[in-house]
């Protein structure tokens, strides 16, 4: 048979043999999803405003300082940089797997001087052997191709694609967690600023009251007890300032660290201002399967584990590879490219494990157990996601009602203090009544500030539980230097 006919026969072999796929077809597990969330008044179903910019979710809080810190964190966070590196590595691994679908071509050159021993094993007993020294020049082009009859390469590509998508989802989850942690620390700090502002206003009010009592005491209209009581209240309130400032420091340091700045170099001056949580559309529970990146990552991990089953089961079938070389070999460089120096090979090889002590079955069992583990982890992540969302929905509704009541209490306490001051100035009441009213007002204002801070934190928690911004955004809406999940998404279609 001529070399050309043998070559055509080898190339036609993949068309004559039916292709098959090892391992089960991937199907995501069915989950019992509730039709809706349990909600409490005053919760209401909000509708996203399409006229607003579809930027990152933290812009919903309308806080320019928070927006600047988030952009700084996205650009400088080492945690996000590590996640981006893992995403890039997963994309490269996908390219490696796809390359196995194509023939592998290579070239080699050899130039060596060798000596053959005269004491080498005898091949012809009647012919004397001599030691010789000669040159060996060799130039070859080689090609090899694995016939993917058992679906091993396809399973590897399928698994690599799922792993790349998993890394993309994990990158988005790291991004969501980073921004949520930063917003949590920021609103904790701002809630303390609001509370500090209430204490500072109370101190100013108590200083005026102390000056008034001192003037009355100098005129003999107030006793020494009244003066001492008012001074004690002021001293107690001044102590609370230092305690609140101490509580503020860890949150300020956390913001610096999350935004990529060393804590000793970061400062965020107090800035008491009105905090207003956004209205978050809760959707339906099944939306979590589409919106939460950790759920997406767990689902892609299942697909990768399922593909690994195909890889292990393909090992039970023969592995067939085509290969060939073409080149020239000579002991003299001058005749290396002459016709007599031509060398070539063409053929196919097949390999099948006949006995391995149960190794392949053990590998297959390991892959199947790994898939069951990924299924269990997926169900756990989904259940935890629904719990977090339900906790956030009910908790935010309760905090909204409590904050409304706290504001009403502040109004009432302010009115009580005004009446107490009027009664004391008119000589109807003693200073203790004024002091009690001052303490009550300070307590209600601090409680209102604390509940407002909890509302902001609950809003961040709910946004994180629901998977981030509900309107979505493109990479151009954020820092263009920060990679996104689109990195893997653009690879996957091109690999098909």
Q: Could you please report the per-residue DSSP string of 116-167?
A: E-TTSPPS-TTS----EEEEEEEEEEEEEEEE-SSSHHHHHHHHHHHHHHHH
Element housing 349 (H / E): strand 342-351
Helix, strand, coil fractions of the chain, as percent rounded to 5? 60, 10, 25
Mean pLDDT of the chain: 81
Query: Position of tokens 């979590």?
Result: 288
State the average pLDDT over residues 223-227: 81
Q: Which two tokens stand for residue 42?
A: 């005053």
CA-based nearest residue to 116, from 127, 131, 105, 101: 131
Give the pLDDT of residue 472.
47
What is the model's pTM? Answer: 0.75
Q: What is the CATH number of the domain that holds 257?
A: 1.20.1600.10
Number of domains in the chain: 1
**What is the number of other CB atoms lying within 10 angstroms of the CB of residue 282?**
23
pLDDT tens readout for residues 401-422? 898 899 999 999 999 888 888 8
Higher-confidence residue of 290 and 438: namely 438
Tell whether 18 is covered by a domain: no
- Helix axis angle for 152-218 and 431-465, nearest 10°, is 170
Q: Which two tokens stand for residue 106?
A: 């290579």
Tell whether 13 is covered by a domain: no
State the average pLDDT over residues 287-312: 85
Query: Position of tokens 């679908």?
Result: 101
pLDDT tens readout for residues 153-188? 888 999 999 999 989 988 988 999 999 999 999 999
Give the Cα separation of 315 and 490 in Å (integer). 31
Tell whether 191 is covered by a domain: yes
> What's the 3-state SS for 3-35?
HHHHHHHHHHHHHHCCCCCCCCCCCCCCCCCCC
**Best mean pLDDT range from 46-50, 286-290, 386-390:** 386-390
Tell whether 117 is covered by a domain: no
The confidence band for 250, taking pLDDT boundaries of 50, 70 and 90, is very high
Q: Is residue 106 within 8 Å of 287, Cβ to Cβ? A: no
Give the pLDDT of residue 23.
63
Residue 52 lies in domain: 25-101+149-317+359-495
Higher-confidence residue of 120 and 26: namely 120
pLDDT tens readout for residues 187-210? 999 999 999 988 988 888 888 888
Specify the long-range contacts of residues 268-275, CB closer than 8 Å, at least 24 apart. Answer: 268/65, 268/189, 270/193, 270/196, 270/197, 271/65, 271/190, 271/193, 272/190, 272/193, 272/194, 272/196, 272/197, 273/190, 273/194, 275/187, 275/190, 275/191, 275/194, 275/452, 275/453, 275/455, 275/456
Give the Cα separation of 390 and 388 in Å (integer). 6
Give the Cα separation of 78 and 69 in Å (integer). 15
Q: Which two tokens stand for residue 148?
A: 């993917």
Q: Which two tokens stand for residue 410?
A: 């502040």
Tell whether 44 is covered by a domain: yes
Say which residues have a Cβ less than 8 Å from residue 174's Cβ, sequence separation at least 6: 79, 80, 83
Q: Which two tokens stand for residue 310?
A: 């195909």
- The sign one gets for the Cα dihedral 233, 238, 242, 248 is positive
Q: Is residue 194 within 8 Å of 272, Cβ to Cβ? A: yes
Give the pLDDT of residue 286.
59
Query: Position of tokens 């391995």?
Result: 356
pLDDT tens readout for residues 106-141? 999 989 988 888 888 887 788 888 888 888 889 999
Tell whether 85 is covered by a domain: yes
């Amino acid at each position: 048979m001529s070399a050309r006919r043998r070559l055509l026969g080898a190339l036609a072999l993949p068309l004559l043999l039916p292709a098959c796929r090892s391992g089960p077809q991937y199907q995501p597990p069915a989950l019992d999803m509730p039709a809706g969330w349990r909600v409490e008044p005053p919760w209401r179903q909000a509708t996203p405003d399409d006229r607003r910019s579809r930027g990152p979710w933290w812009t919903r809080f309308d806080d320019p300082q928070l927006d600047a810190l988030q952009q700084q964190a996205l650009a400088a966070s080492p945690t996000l940089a590590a996640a981006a590196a893992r995403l890039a590595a997963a994309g490269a691994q996908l390219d490696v797997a796809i390359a196995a679908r194509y023939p592998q071509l290579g070239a080699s050159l050899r130039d060596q001087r060798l000596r053959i021993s005269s004491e080498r094993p005898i091949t012809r007993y009647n012919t004397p052997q001599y030691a010789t020294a000669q040159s060996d020049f060799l130039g070859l082009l080689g090609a090899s191709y694995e016939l993917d009859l058992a679906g091993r390469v396809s399973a590897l590509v399928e698994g690599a694609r799922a792993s790349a998508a998993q890394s993309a989802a994990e990158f988005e989850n790291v991004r969501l967690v980073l921004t949520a942690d930063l917003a949590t620390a920021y609103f904790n700090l701002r809630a303390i600023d609001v509370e500090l502002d209430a204490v500072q206003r109370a101190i100013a009010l108590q200083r005026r009251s102390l000056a008034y009592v001192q003037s009355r005491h100098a005129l003999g209209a107030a006793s020494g007890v009244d003066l001492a009581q008012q001074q004690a209240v002021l001293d107690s309130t001044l102590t609370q300032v230092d305690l609140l400032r101490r509580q503020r420091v860890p949150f300020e340091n956390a913001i610096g660290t999350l935004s990529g700045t060393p804590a000793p170099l970061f400062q965020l001056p107090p800035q008491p201002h009105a905090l207003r949580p956004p209205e978050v559309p809760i959707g339906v529970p099944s939306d979590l399967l589409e919106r939460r990146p950790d759920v997406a990552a767990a689902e892609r991990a299942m697909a990768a584990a399922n593909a690994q089953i195909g890889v292990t089961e393909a090992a039970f079938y023969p592995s067939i590879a085509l290969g060939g070389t073409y080149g020239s070999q000579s002991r003299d460089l001058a005749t290396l490219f002459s016709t007599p120096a031509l060398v070539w090979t063409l053929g196919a090889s097949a390999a099948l494990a006949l006995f391995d002590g149960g190794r392949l079955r053990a590998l297959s069992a390991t892959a199947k157990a790994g898939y069951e583990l990924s299924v269990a982890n997926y169900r756990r992540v989904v259940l935890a996601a629904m719990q977090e969302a339900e906790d956030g929905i009910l908790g935010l509704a309760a905090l909204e009602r409590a904050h409304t009541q706290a504001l009403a209490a502040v109004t009432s306490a302010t009115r009580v203090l005004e009446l107490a001051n009027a009664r004391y100035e008119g000589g109807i009441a003693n200073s203790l009544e004024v002091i009690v009213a001052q303490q009550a007002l300070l307590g209600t204002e601090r409680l209102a500030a604390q509940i407002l801070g909890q509302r902001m934190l609950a809003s961040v928690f709910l946004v994180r539980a629901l998977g981030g911004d509900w309107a979505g955004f493109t990479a151009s809406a954020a820092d263009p230097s920060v990679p996104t999940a689109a990195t893997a998404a653009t690879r996957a279609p091109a690999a098909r």
